[in-house]
């Protein structure tokens, strides 16, 4: 414990930056507030361009040695980080719940185990990277994945540590160094991860964490000439600013952005399954980029679907995310709550009808909401709300279902519920989405490509696709002769 340490839910957290293997303070701070009760958790170092530059310099200095470290040794250290995550899983879970308001039971059972799995998976996958040599007119082609250099990773507040390590793990496994900029609304578990990585033996400067506001340090990170990769998860407007900042140096980008995903329910579907999947979209208070917020139901079963949905949604428990019985926790921040409320108010003024919810419960919670009688070109159908707000529309046939599903500027995911396998094959082939789930939702494998189409993103990560991004692929062509062999 030091004078800088915060105590969050009984866990000591250092709120300073982590740069070059040392804790670094800033002249200014910002207040981190828990969405559970609005209580200030403490003051966190508020980064400036100077700290951003120092972090990139530390990453650049550490890069040659880490890039030269054998893959197997890098993998060993990543497994040691995973061990540290598992050892401190309960601490990470309660700190993240306190910091961002997501369910403690989810952090314990799913999210933090996935954090450890991110490190283990990409550590092991890095050891399998191989492309069979091939010949061209007697010459041998050999493909290799070379570390790219310092990477800037900018992560969101809705699943802070899981989404950060989804980027950190492949970047480090590839031999790169990292500067992580966590979201200012949920920065604390990134600080704990820095401690865990150091204890696992990750060399100084390989992982750096700079906290603060994107408007103040974002450009210093994304425009830096020594940065070789930028990965960002967040909003489309911020992605545009990052892309413009990175453009002068042609720094490659991976962008996982917003979604307005459809859930298509056909008349031949198992309606109980369809309702379960639809209500599941309220997970994490609707603060999930992949959420299927546009429910599209075949008109012949729409009335029955709605009746069952209203009953099931009405049984959800909204409250303290630390309680086992809670299904939906608070919205992350008052500004986000106001944004959600604005979307719903404007939709109702335009003619939408709230058959579930449609209002704030208080200054922390927005009631799970289902809006009907919405126009396809309306704001509530076209724009991402990022809250517990769903819309319901009907369709007459398969063609109309696909037309409505694809009629937004996004293309992150889609969910399809049908009892007809041939229909599932037809419809999934016509949908524009990076991921399509059929009769299921949120089944994710790290071997699979993940990303969005259209305004939902640029690029794919997962499995070898992650290493394709975080590496410079090289093809070495060797002639069959010209050697001076001396036996």
Alpha helices in 183-301 (DSSP H): 188-199, 214-222, 236-246, 271-279
How many beta carbons lie within 10 A of that of residue 342, not counting itself? 12
Angle formed at CA 76 by CA 70 and CA 79, multiple of 5 degrees: 145
Angle formed at CA 418 by CA 414 and CA 421, multiple of 5 degrees: 100
Pick from 376, 394, 357, 364: which is nearest to 282 by CA?
357
Distance CA 438, CA 419 (A): 10
Pick from 16, 159, 36: which is nearest to 98 by CA?
36
Tokens 């992650």 appear where? Answer: 466
Choose, from 51, 91, 96, 289, the residue flagged as catalytic.
289
- The answer to whether 81 touches 265, Cβ cutoff 8 Å, is no
Q: How far is CA 441 from CA 251, 266, 311, 432, in A?
A: 34, 16, 21, 17
Phi/psi for 482 (5° steps) reads: 110, 5
- Catalytic status, residue 289: yes
- Give the N- to C-terminal CA distance of the chain in Å, as an integer: 63
- Burial level of 331, CB count in 10 A (0-12/13-18/19+)? buried
The DSSP 8-state label assigned to residue 384 in this structure reads -
Pick from 209, 193, 182, 238: which is nearest to 32 by CA?
182
Choose, from 256, 298, 384, 461, the residue flagged as catalytic.
256
Distance CA 260, CA 371 (A): 15
> Six-digit token pair at 78?
């990543």
Beta-carbon contacts of 481 under 8 Å, excluding residues fewer than 6 positions away, are: none
Query: Catalytic positions, please?
Result: 256, 289
């Amino acid at each position: 414990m030091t004078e800088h340490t915060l105590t969050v839910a009984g866990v000591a957290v250092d709120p300073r930056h982590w740069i070059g293997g040392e804790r670094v303070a800033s002249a200014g701070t910002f207040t981190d507030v828990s969405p559970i009760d609005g209580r200030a958790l403490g003051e966190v170092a508020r980064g400036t361009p100077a700290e951003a530059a120092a972090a990139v310099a530390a990453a650049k200095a550490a890069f040659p040695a880490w890039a030269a470290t054998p893959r197997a040794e890098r993998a060993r250290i990543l497994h040691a980080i995973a061990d540290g995550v598992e050892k401190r899983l309960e601490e990470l879970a309660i700190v993240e719940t306190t910091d961002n308001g997501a369910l403690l039971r989810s952090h314990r059972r799913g999210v933090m185990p996935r954090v450890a799995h991110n490190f283990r998976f990409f550590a092991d996958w890095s050891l399998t990277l191989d492309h069979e040599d091939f010949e061209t007119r007697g010459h041998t082609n050999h493909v290799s994945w070379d570390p790219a250099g310092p990477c800037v990773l900018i992560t969101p507040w809705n699943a802070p540590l899981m989404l950060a390590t989804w980027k950190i793990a492949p970047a480090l496994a590839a031999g790169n160094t990292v500067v992580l900029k966590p979201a200012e609304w949920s920065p604390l578990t990134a600080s704990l991860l820095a401690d865990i990585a150091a204890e696992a033996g990750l060399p100084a400067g390989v992982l750096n964490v700079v906290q603060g506001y994107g408007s103040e340090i974002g450009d210093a990170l994304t425009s830096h000439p020594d940065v070789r990769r930028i990965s960002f998860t967040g909003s489309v407007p911020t992605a545009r600013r990052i892309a413009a900042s990175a453009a002068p140096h042609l720094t490659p980008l991976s962008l996982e952005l917003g979604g307005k995903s459809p859930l298509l329910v056909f008349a031949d579907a198992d309606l109980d399954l369809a309702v379960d999947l639809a209500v599941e979209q309220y997970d994490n208070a609707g603060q999930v980029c992949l959420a299927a917020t546009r429910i599209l139901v075949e008109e012949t079963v729409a009335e029955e679907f709605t009746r069952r949905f209203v009953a099931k949604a009405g049984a959800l428990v909204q409250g303290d995310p630390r309680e086992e019985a809670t299904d939906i926790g608070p919205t992350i921040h008052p500004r986000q709550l106001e944004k959600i409320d604005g979307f719903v108010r404007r939709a109702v003024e335009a003619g939408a009808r709230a058959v579930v919810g449609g209002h704030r419960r208080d200054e922390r919670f927005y009631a799970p909401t289902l809006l009907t009688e919405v126009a396809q070109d309306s704001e509530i159908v076209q724009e991402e709300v990022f809250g517990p707000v769903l819309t319901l529309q009907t369709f007459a046939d398969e063609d109309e279902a696909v037309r409505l599903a694809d009629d937004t500027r996004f293309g992150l995911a889609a969910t399809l519920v049908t009892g007809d396998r041939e229909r599932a094959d037809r419809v999934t082939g016509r949908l524009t989405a990076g991921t399509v789930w059929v009769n299921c939702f949120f089944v994710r494998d790290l071997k699979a490509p993940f990303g969005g189409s259209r305004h939902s993103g640029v690029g794919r990560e997962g499995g070898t696709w992650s290493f394709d991004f975080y590496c410079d692929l090289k093809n070495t062509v060797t002639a069959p002769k010209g050697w001076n062999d001396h036996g």
